[in-house]
Chain A
Amino acid sequence: MKKAIISAKDLCKSFAHNGGQVHIIQNVDLEIYEGDFTIIMGSSGSGKSTLLYALSGMDRATSGRVELKGENITDMSEKELAKLRHTRFGFVFQQINLVSNLSLFENVAVPGYLNKDRSSAEVNETADRLLKKMGISDIKTQLPSQCSGGEQQRCAIARALINTPDIVFADEPTGALNRRNTTEVLDLFTLCNKEGQSILMVTHDIRAALRATRLLYLEDGKIIGELSLPPYSPENEKSRETQVNSWLTSMHW
């Protein structure tokens, strides 16, 4: 029996628009399990990113409840949410969003420094190890603007992992990358997941979807389909592609 890390109950998110309400997420009940590589797919405007940020406490839901391992995060204060972000969550964004005046190493280490449970030396050691794992340790002193998009996104993944979070949230992490960089970044996510890292990713890239162990399909703010897959390996990529394509077709993708 898998343990749920994130549980959402009756989750709604709506915005005021032209005097009325636009419902982006509608009464979603959902559980994200430990060790899974969960990917949420859906057409553009279906509310994927909104759901991701509501689940991660980055954005407050209009109604409903989100729990992290049974702990309600919906009513947490800004300070409590900030602590969650640097202790239990990791984030990877489509636009990468590295701090432009910090080196790659510093971008990775700074959230580690925030976590007072570890010494500065431990953080530096972890940052070095992660940068090496991401294959960018030789350029760690460079600024983001001096690196390629792929290198920057690998740095962003390392940053998300620095505090060994319970779960990494990734919002279209390959959306701004070319084909080669996309594969490299997805390989890293897959590797991390195989090492036990729980990941919740939002994407509309089929190549990314192939890496999932669990696929969810969102339409008009509602989960309308789910597909479970065995762990990814290059050998089973072809068969996964057929299975996922068929499932997506059934979802009117």
Chain B
Amino acid sequence: MDIILLIKKNIRYKKGSFTSIIMLMLIIALSITTIVSIKENVPRSIENAYDRVYDSSITLNICSKYLTDEILEEVAAHPLVKKVEVRDALAPDKYSYSNEKKGTFGILVMQIDARIDRVWNEDYSDYADNVRELRNGEVYLPRAMAEKDGISIGDSIIIGFKDDTYSYKVTGLVEEPSCGSSFIGSKAIFISEEDFKSLSEKRKMAAAADPEAENDLYKVIYITQADDSSYSDSKFVSVLNSEVRLGSFAAGMITRYESLHYQGLMPDIISNIFLSFVIILTVIVFVVMSNSISSSIELNYVDLGILKAQGYDSARLKLVFLGQYMLAEAVGAVLGIVLAFPVCSFLSRAFEPIIGLKIYGGINILLSLAIILGLLILSAAFILLVSGKVGSISPIRALQSGRSEVYFDSRLNVPVRSSFLSAGLALRQFTSGKRRYAASIAIASILVFFLLTMTGMTDAVSSENAQRAMGATSENIAITIPLDYSPENTVIINEQLALAESVIKEYTEIQERYRTSTRYMLLNGEQLSCIISEDEETYTITEGRAPRYKNEIVIGQIYAEDMGYKIGDEVKVSYQGGTGSFIVSGFCTGLQDTGRFFGMTGDGARTLKSDFAVHWAGYKLKDIEKQDEIKDRLTEVLIDKCTVKIYKPGEADEVFVQLSGAIKAVIYVISVIFALVVVSMVCTKTFIREKTDIGIYKSLGFTSANLRLQFAVRFLIVAVFGIIIGSTLSLAFSEKLLSLLLRSMGIVNFVIEYRFITVFLPVAAIAVSYFVFAYLTTAKIKTVEVRELITE
């Protein structure tokens, strides 16, 4: 009873500390509950959507000319295969939109069927109840494709073949659970049965006249694994590819596992980023509690001594601390869980444009409660540990003289001068009680570290140097020559590229050249993206070297680590019927298929397919101001088939820029709230401790504004120390942390380019927060009367 009374009194008189702990715990509980729920809801929703529509283990696209009845029979007859379903598709050379937006995916045009039955309603809150049949001239796009390409209902998509273009009006955005996510590079779009038949007929007629048009005719094959097979999807693919001849001809192949993985990738990465942030926030809460308890013991030394003199032992006093802090944490936790309901729903909706399907499910209350309970138990142990200091309180000393005399000598003291008097006094106050500010410095450094890390991550989206270091090429102009493989076309391609280079050199120097093609090939039976390049600089090598000879390959480091490949290993590569042995010459990094790729030289590819030629060339220019002129000139001199595109340095995908901006904003807001809570807690305690000094300064003629400025400057100094430590930590660990967090995207060596804005934003956020919040929190300095110095 007495303990409850003391807890009630403490809460009543220390409302500030109590509220601060509630707020901090609220943010943590809210974040934990949201992350836990999102991490469960997103994969489950994707899986349910996939399984509702498809029962296949593998989906692959193959040019019709390679798919013979014999191969199909071979696949169907395989003991591991339960079912094979084949659907027609058309692969246009290019596509664009009526609103001038560029298409960013590879697309297949397919006929709408009963499985694609979920069309988003007008406000994208759910799927429409009544979906009318698709009419001629209309098209359904996967929602994520429309969102990424910036397309709305009513716009038209124009698909182009070698000799013809067709326009369809977008009348609906659909759920496509196989490859609907914006993280998967190929998309299926759906037109009416009649339109598809008509279009197919035209392409077949074109193919009869021109063999090159045969490349427009595709098949999408859905292969279902036998019920009695216990193989994983990847093992199933590997075995199937090694025993039938289908895989090496496929233009693209995706397993159910990969589909689910890629679609859920972005929410998973974002959840992991926030999870690491929550871990850091939890550390901050513990630092804050430790500081708060220590200060309380120091400031209430006499009261605690009196209680001891009344017969309270240390254990009982510790229970009072435990009770009040646990009560605050429990209140914060409950509020956080309650708030998680709307936040989780909001976040789910935020992910839907990226994934393209609806996220179902609410809060995972049990798991969230379990984690929060674990955190509370850990916190209770920590409180008992920190409040152990009450054991050293001497009732006699407390009653006689309070705490022992404190000396303030410091080597950091600099003389107080007339100029910058407030700043000098603030520095003296800081150097006199450095230990009191240790917690605030630690928190500022943690926040700066995390803000720098996050700013570095989001800025990398638009940093050319950072992207290059992580495996992206940095072309300013690129030429695509989509000609079929043939000895004649190889000659044309080489002539066109030579011509293009000579034109570019008339305007500016070529700094880097990447002549590449990306094709799906089988590496030891597993279908992977292969980057075939005539230029070594295409690859960002992390170990070993780039392929130089025709029997060498490089492998993405993440995939190599997962599969246990080493430099010098011999591997088997198959492509369109050709097979060869290659030596692993090194590992590289890159975002291609989230790091699951390999690379070889053009000569290497020609050992598998003799008439192979790269179809794309990117050039990094010395003078990018001349991009437009060069593009115009190239369009004039190159054959019509060629397309020329220009890229601005650091040009980034709009969706990712917005998403990374949103992550950054949320993390900044939470950090500023934490800074507010921490500064106000420490300021309040400092204010109580220094009330007499404030009175003295007032008696000497200092105004409240002077004294508040001193407080603000003092906390600015605290922030500066935190910034120095946080920045040092960031230099040492940010890239490692990001490489760990973004590994699932294929990044093994995240590179932060510390630009002015990268450093300025976090530093300014913390410095300004500490300064402003200290100034605002000390408004009560006005209430200190000099008469408090009077001893009546």
Interface residues of A (CB under 8 A from B): 44-45, 49-50, 53, 58-59, 78-79, 82-87, 91, 93-95, 97-102, 106, 109-114, 119-120, 123, 143, 145-146, 159, 171-172, 175
Contact = CB atoms under 8 A, between A and B. Distances in A.
A99 B408 CA distance: 11
Nearest to B421: A113
A79 B703 contact: yes
A172 B792 CA distance: 9
A107 to B, nearest CB: 9
Contacts of B704: 78
Contacts of B403: none
A130 B703 CA distance: 25
B408 A49 contact: no
A58 B787 contact: yes
17 contacts: A45-B792, A49-B790, A58-B699, A58-B787, A82-B698, A85-B699, A86-B700, A99-B693, A100-B406, A102-B416, A109-B416, A110-B425, A112-B418, A120-B419, A145-B406, A145-B408, A172-B791
A82 B701 CA distance: 4
A91 B432 contact: no
A78 B782 CA distance: 9
Contact of A101 (B408, B692, B701, B787): B408
B416 A106 contact: yes
A32 B79 CA distance: 114
Contacts of A91: 699-700
A114 B789 contact: no
Interface string B659-699: 00000000000000000000000000000000011011111
B790 A97 contact: no
Given A49-B790, A58-B787, A172-B791, A111 B418 contact: no
Contacts of A99: 693, 696-697
Nearest to A59: B787
Contacts of B700: 85-86, 91, 110-111, 114, 159
A133 B702 CA distance: 26
B132 interface: no
Interface in B398-448: 405-409, 415-419, 421, 425, 428-429, 432-433
Interface in B772-792: 782, 785-787, 789-792
B418 A123 contact: yes
Interface in B501-529: none
Contacts of A143: 407-409
A50 B790 CA distance: 9
A39 B409 CA distance: 38
B696 A98 contact: yes
Given A97-B695, A110-B421, A145-B406, A82 B792 contact: no
Given A82-B702, A145-B405, 20 more contacts: A49-B791, A58-B699, A59-B785, A79-B703, A82-B698, A82-B706, A84-B701, A85-B699, A87-B701, A97-B692, A99-B697, A101-B408, A101-B433, A102-B416, A106-B415, A113-B421, A114-B700, A114-B702, A143-B409, A175-B791
Interface string B696-718: 11111111101000000000000
A83 B417 CA distance: 19
Contacts of A114: 421, 700-702
Given A85-B699, A110-B416, A123-B418, A102 B428 contact: yes
Contacts of A159: 700
B784 to A, nearest CB: 11
A110 B438 CA distance: 27
B701 A83 contact: yes
Contacts of B418: 112-113, 119-120, 123
A45 B693 CA distance: 25
Q: Which of A44, A58, A120 has the most CB of B within 10 A?
A: A58
B429 A101 contact: yes
A88 to B, nearest CB: 10
Nearest to B699: A91
Contacts of B782: 78
Contact of B407 (A95, A112, A123, A145): A145
Contacts of A172: 791
| Nearest 5 CB-CB pairings of A with B | A86-B701, A120-B418, A101-B432, A85-B701, A113-B418
B790 A53 contact: yes
Q: Which of B415, B703, B785 has the most CB of A within 10 A?
A: B703
A95 B787 contact: no
Contacts of A111: 700-701
B727 to A, nearest CB: 29
Contacts of B697: 99
B697 to A, nearest CB: 7
Nearest to A106: B416
A53 B788 CA distance: 11
Interface in B574-624: none
A214 B357 CA distance: 92
Contacts of B433: 101
Nearest to A44: B792
Contacts of B787: 53, 58-59
Given A83-B701, A99-B693, A111-B700, A94 B407 contact: no
B433 to A, nearest CB: 8
Given A120-B417, A143-B407, A145-B406, A94 B703 contact: no
Contacts of B429: 101
Contacts of B419: 120
A94 B699 CA distance: 14
Contact of A97 (B407, B696, B701, B785): B696
Nearest to B419: A120
Contacts of A58: 699, 785-787
A235 B790 CA distance: 34
Contacts of A175: 791
B699 A97 contact: yes
Nearest to B405: A145
A204 B506 CA distance: 100
Contacts of A85: 698-701
A95 B416 contact: no
A111 to B, nearest CB: 4
Contact of B428 (A82, A93, A101): A101
A53 B787 CA distance: 7
Nearest to B787: A59
B540 to A, nearest CB: 55
B789 A97 contact: yes
A44 B790 CA distance: 13
A83 B433 CA distance: 29
A49 B701 CA distance: 19
Contacts of A171: 790-791
B706 to A, nearest CB: 8
A59 B792 CA distance: 14
B645 to A, nearest CB: 66
A26 to B, nearest CB: 17
A245 B782 CA distance: 43
B415 to A, nearest CB: 7
Interface in B473-500: none
B409 A100 contact: no
Contacts of A94: 791
Given A79-B703, A86-B700, A120-B418, A100 B786 contact: no
Nearest to B408: A101
A13 B774 CA distance: 35
Contacts of A93: 699, 789-791
Given A53-B787, A78-B704, A82-B703, A100 B693 contact: yes
A245 to B, nearest CB: 25
Interface string B706-747: 100000000000000000000000000000000000000000
Contacts of A79: 703
Q: Which of A84, A91, A102, A145 has the most CB of B within 10 A?
A: A102
Contacts of B408: 100-101, 143, 145
Q: Which of B415, B418, B693 has the most CB of A within 10 A?
A: B418
Contacts of B692: 97
A91 B699 CA distance: 7
